[in-house]
A and B are shown apart, each in its own frame.
Chain A
Amino acid sequence: MNNKYLREELIRESGVNPKKCMKCGKCSATCPAYDEMEYHPHQFVSMVESGDIQPLLQSESLYKCLSCFACIERCPRGVEPAKLVEAVRLAAIRKQGENRMTANDVAEFLDEDVPQQLIVSAFRKYSK
């Protein structure tokens, strides 16, 4: 998929308008997963806007986002970076064989107390 088409697809699917960003960095300032991320929320917005999407698709950052929506809540411009991160993650894992997690992985983290909610959430986020 070429970048121009992919950019438009990500914008359409997420409903995010990256042009609204005023580059204040509040999303990254408030992000609890910042230190785990190679590309940070404000970079997702900027890189999608400029069509520099391949590095994002390959980045581990996609799987560190907590979907906690702190960036969405606190962005002064209503940009909603987390929705863009989600759209890029889906673009990555929707490809054949690109699931981040499979049923075989569950045993690894399963313990006596793991709530069902954790397993279904993880599948929603990491697998298609």
Chain B
Amino acid sequence: MQRVGVFVCWCGSNIAGTVDVQAVSDALKNEPGVVFSTNYQYMCSQAGQDMIKDAVKEHNLTGIVVCSCSPRMHEATFRKTAAAAGLNPYMVEIANIREQCSWVHKDIQTGTEKAIILGKAAVAKVNLNTPLTPGESPVTKRALVIGGGIAGIQTALDIADAGFPVDIVEKKPTIGGKMAQLDKTFPTLDCAACILTPKMVDVAQNENIRIFSYSEVSEIKGFVGNFDVTIKKNARYVKEDICTGCGACVEKCPMKKVPNEFNLGMDNRSAIYIPFAQAVPKVATIDPSACNMLKNGKCGLCSKVCAAGAIDYTQKDEYIQEKYGAIVVATGFNPISMDKFDEFAYNQSKDVITSLEFERLTNAAGPTAGHLERPSDGKSPKTIVFVQCVGSRCDACAEKGKEYCSKICCMYTAKHAMLVRDKYPDTDVYVFYIDVRTPGKNFDEFYRRAVEEYGVKYVKGMVGKVTPEGDKLKVQASDLIENKQLHIDADLVVLAAAIEPDKSARPLATMLTASMDTNDFFTEAHPKLRPVESPTAGVFLSGACQGPKDIPETVSQAGAAASKVIGLLAKDKLTGNPCVAHSNELMCNGCSSCERVCPYGAITYEDKEFRMPDRTTKIRRVAVVNPAVCQGCGACTVACPSGAMDLNGFASNQIMAEVDAICK
């Protein structure tokens, strides 16, 4: 039998205002196992904690019940108090008589009754508590960053700066991501390349960072501190360590008609290519779907002109195994397809483009060398219509748009409109908006400058139809303030397409057993207080994979994710949570129900030898829980049909004892 001490907290008037604390401590005195019961104004204060410690010694307590606030608030505090008094910290139970009682009741009598019941349940449970000891596991001091855009780059640099090795896996031939495609950045209008490319060079030169470009993560096993990852390095048919990036092959390649993805198909590249001049690594890659040599063995020109001898047509995909202590997801975003929005005629006219295409069109390194020319005929547009919220805030049809606000479009559209008016003042620029959303430092000032100084015509309303006719785009739109329908003959229409998580995110989340929301954005451990951690231990989130973000926010989050990784890698050993599941192998029938419901992949099966009553042996398949991976959610314990699964600290008999105490 336990010797239980009960400590009822007043929490000032927070509890004592609605609960008769004296009555609670008196009532609980008579519960089985209780040898001491008292109440105090602030149990969490030093004096309150000392009161607990003294009572442990004086009454030889083996278990403690604190009737106070939510365990989320002070369970850790009282566990430490118990440990200081020489008790196992898991011999403490909290009865939440504040959030679940005093704060929700107005009447002292009902409040007191309920507090007593909650206290009784906690006493019943602590009587069945057993001391628990958390396990320990080592930490591999290396981090993996998946995605090499600005989010991945910043996270990797910050982790590397703290002295830990980091690998970046990027599926494209170069790091840089979407930011490398941008022209200028709001609200300061500094050039994206000018601030990004030095960081890319830093990554390349950092001794602690390895870049796996043109590569993907193909398998992830293990758990926090001990991930085993397989990285697939796609064959680029160029020896990375020998290629000097001189570009001779690119020049000589006869196959020059491949749509250039870096410029969003607005110009062409060769079959062997370097995505852009500042690519990191600056290494050529052969596109096997376009290369004649790879397709039918006819050509081989690039190999002939390569002075370094870097071309290797026989290169195969390579699989690399590596261990990591932490994984950062930085898989970023893409604009959604405009196929389902053809009321804007994106598929009918080359002069209806997305905002990202517009970035390339105004970029000095883009297909028009920065001159604003219409894709159809190269003429300079005299009237430009920007349409905001194309596919954002759209819940009419799940195949079409996204219910959320894409957050970045208002600002980049203001930027585009302003830049056009600045460089080409004789251009008429319209922006159709539903709401202009500019929360951010210097954001609204920026938007107002576009209107007031640059004369961009902002129209409250939406475009309903774009009709290409001759060389004009007939735009039909509403002006809700003036209550009229507008008809504008435009030369260029720019659609602010909604953004969505990269398609690689969903399979990656499955590999990581990390959770996602319905939009395929990664879920954070807590939306406010743990924004860069995934609920899966050891997995961290950086950038737009977690939700739409602009560059400053992405960089902040990237740094925050890095600091969490550093905090993890700085530890030599990880202390686990002892409240994990365990399987009674005698009762387990190996049915796999638990494995199927486990969201963390913590359960595996092994064949075990059992001695039978007749002294023969029998091999049976039984469940084994990896305590370092288990998060103690308890899903397996309810799924288990034979009752073999149980949860330390929340055992079925403990829960039943609580229920009995409440129903008594």
Contacts and interface: CB of A to CB of B under 8 A. Distances in A.
- Touching chains A and B, CB distance < 8 Å: yes
Interface residues of B, number: 21
Contacts of B397: 78
A76 B476 CA distance: 17
18 contacts: A23-B434, A25-B461, A26-B478, A28-B464, A28-B478, A29-B464, A30-B343, A30-B476, A31-B464, A34-B478, A34-B485, A35-B485, A40-B483, A42-B480, A70-B464, A76-B394, A78-B396, A78-B397
B463 interface: yes
Contacts of B462: 24-26, 29
A-side interface size class: 20 to 34
B485 A76 contact: no
Interface in B393-413: 393-397, 401
B434 A24 contact: yes
A34 B460 CA distance: 17
Contact of B478 (A20, A22, A42): A42
Given A23-B480, A70-B464, A75-B396, A28 B485 contact: yes
A64 interface: no
Interface in B473-502: 476-478, 480, 483, 485
Contact of B396 (A28, A70, A76): A76
B393 A76 contact: yes
Interface string B632-661: 000000000000000000000000000000
B474 to A, nearest CB: 13
Contacts of B477: 29
Contact of A77 (B394, B461, B476): B394
Contacts of A94: none
Interface string A15-27: 0000010111111
Contacts of B199: none
Interface string B520-544: 0000000000000000000000000
A25 B462 CA distance: 6
B336 to A, nearest CB: 13
Nearest to B461: A25
Contact of A26 (B395, B460, B464, B483): B464
Contacts of A30: 343, 464-465, 476
A12 interface: no
B401 A76 contact: yes
Contacts of B19: none
A4 interface: no
Max chain B C-beta neighbours (<10 A), residue from A22, A24, A77, A78: A24
Contacts of B476: 29-30
Given A29-B477, A76-B396, 15 more contacts: A24-B434, A24-B461, A24-B462, A26-B478, A27-B464, A28-B478, A28-B480, A28-B485, A29-B465, A29-B478, A30-B464, A34-B478, A40-B478, A75-B396, A77-B396
B463 A29 contact: yes
A50 to B, nearest CB: 16
A85 to B, nearest CB: 16
Contact of A25 (B393, B465, B480): B480
Contacts of B401: 76
Contacts of B461: 24-25, 28-29
A20 B396 CA distance: 10
B389 interface: yes
A75 to B, nearest CB: 6
A39 B396 CA distance: 24
A102 B478 CA distance: 35
Contacts of A35: 485
Max chain B C-beta neighbours (<10 A), residue from A23, A29, A30: A29
Contact of B485 (A24, A31, A77): A31
A24 B389 contact: yes
